């Protein structure tokens, strides 16, 4: 069966410090991968998605970047964090085919202080 | 993408069926109805999805009206662990836009002892 993991689960970082959140998927090949941020009030915002190695699409301009160095690995990064980067970050995967499901990871809480 | 409308909150007694409604009157013929739920501080959990036929799995049943303008998620025997925010969303069929989920406010389901 397929599984998705992301880490770290919680992170407290000072303003201006770098960020790296990692996500891996097991049990499938060539998945579509997604990074979301969920703000207070439950809104879900798509940040990046990838349909293959090295292919990254950004949905919103921001202080973050994403990379996909391997088929089942997706990384969210920042060179210098801002206070506004605080939030709950979710990695997700799907096959990209109609009628198939998007599965989410456990989420990573980022607090920028 | 079709928008959805859900009641902001609902209560249910433990052991009873929980029926969560969702309106999606602008749904297109090739769009799927998905249900997710989210327990506080965790990633969203997939529950069930359907196109036009009623669906059932080990977690829930999904009833979609014949005109597809509304649906109902049924948790047949609610437990305290089913207390969560439930999201009804409509996804376009296929393509890279498929995973671009947008959660609305959802329905806060509280299951009481």
pLDDT digits (tens, 9 = 90+) for B8-28: 999 999 999 999 999 999 998
- pLDDT range class, residue B106, cuts 50, 70, 90: very high
The whole-angstrom separation of Cα A40 and Cα A59 is 20
A102 in contact with chain B, both atoms CB, cutoff 8 A:
yes
Question: What is d(CA B86, CA A67) in angstroms, rounded to the nearest whole number?
Answer: 31
Contact residues, chain A, for B103 at CB < 8 Å: 38, 42-44
| Chain B CB within 8 Å of residue A32 CB | yes
Cα distance between residue B47 and residue B43, in whole Å: 13
Q: Which residue of B has its CA nearest to A50?
A: B96
User: Please, what is the average pLDDT of chain A?
Assistant: 91
Inter-CA distances, A106 with A8, A32, B44, Å: 10, 17, 8
Q: Is residue B34 helix, strand or coil?
A: strand
Q: What angle do CA A41, A45, A50 make, to 5 degrees?
A: 155
> What pLDDT sits at residue A40?
73
Q: CB–CB of A42 and B85 under 8 A?
A: yes
A66: which strand partners? A76
- Buried/exposed A58-92: b ≥16 CB within 10 Å, e otherwise: eeeeeebebbbeeebebbbebeebeeebbbbbbbb
Nearest chain A Cα distance for residue B91, angstroms: 9
CA distance B50 to chain A (A): 8
Q: Given this model, what pLDDT does residue B56 score?
A: 97
Provide the pLDDT for residue A39: 78
Q: Do A96 and B101 touch (CB under 8 A)?
A: no
- Does the structure show a pLDDT above 70 at B88? yes
CB atoms within 10 A of CB B71: 25
Q: Are B111 and B82 in contact (CB under 8 A)?
A: yes
For residue B29, what pLDDT is reported? 85
Q: Chain B neighbours among A 2-31 (CB < 8 Å)?
A: none
User: Residue B32 and residue A98: Cβ atoms within 8 Å?
Assistant: yes
- Closest chain B CA to residue A107: B43
**In this structure, what DSSP letter does residue B31 have?**
P
A8 cis-preceded (ω within 30 degrees of 0): yes
């Amino acid at each position: 069966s397929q599984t998705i993991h992301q880490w770290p689960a919680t992170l407290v970082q000072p303003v201006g410090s770098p960020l790296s959140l990692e996500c891996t998927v097991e049990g499938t090949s060539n998945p579509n991968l997604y990074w979301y941020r969920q703000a207070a009030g439950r809104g879900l915002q798509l940040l990046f998605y990838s349909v293959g190695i090295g292919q990254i699409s950004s949905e919103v301009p921001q202080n973050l970047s994403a990379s996909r160095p391997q088929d089942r690995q997706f990384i969210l990064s920042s060179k210098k964090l801002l206070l506004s980067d605080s939030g709950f970050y979710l990695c997700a995967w799907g096959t990209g085919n109609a009628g198939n499901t998007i599965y989410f990871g456990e989420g990573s809480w980022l607090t920028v202080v | 993408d079709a928008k959805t409308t859900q009641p902001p909150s609902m209560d249910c007694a433990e052991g009873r069926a929980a029926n969560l409604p969702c309106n999606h009157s602008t749904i297109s013929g090739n769009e799927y109805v998905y249900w997710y739920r989210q327990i506080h501080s965790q990633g969203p959990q997939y529950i069930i999805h359907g196109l036009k036929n009623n669906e059932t799995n080990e977690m829930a049943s999904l009833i979609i009206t014949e005109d597809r303008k509304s649906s109902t998620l049924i948790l047949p025997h609610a437990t305290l662990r089913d207390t969560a925010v439930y999201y009804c969303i409509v996804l376009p069929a296929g393509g890279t836009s498929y995973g671009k989920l947008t959660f609305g406010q959802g329905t806060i389901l509280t299951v009481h002892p």
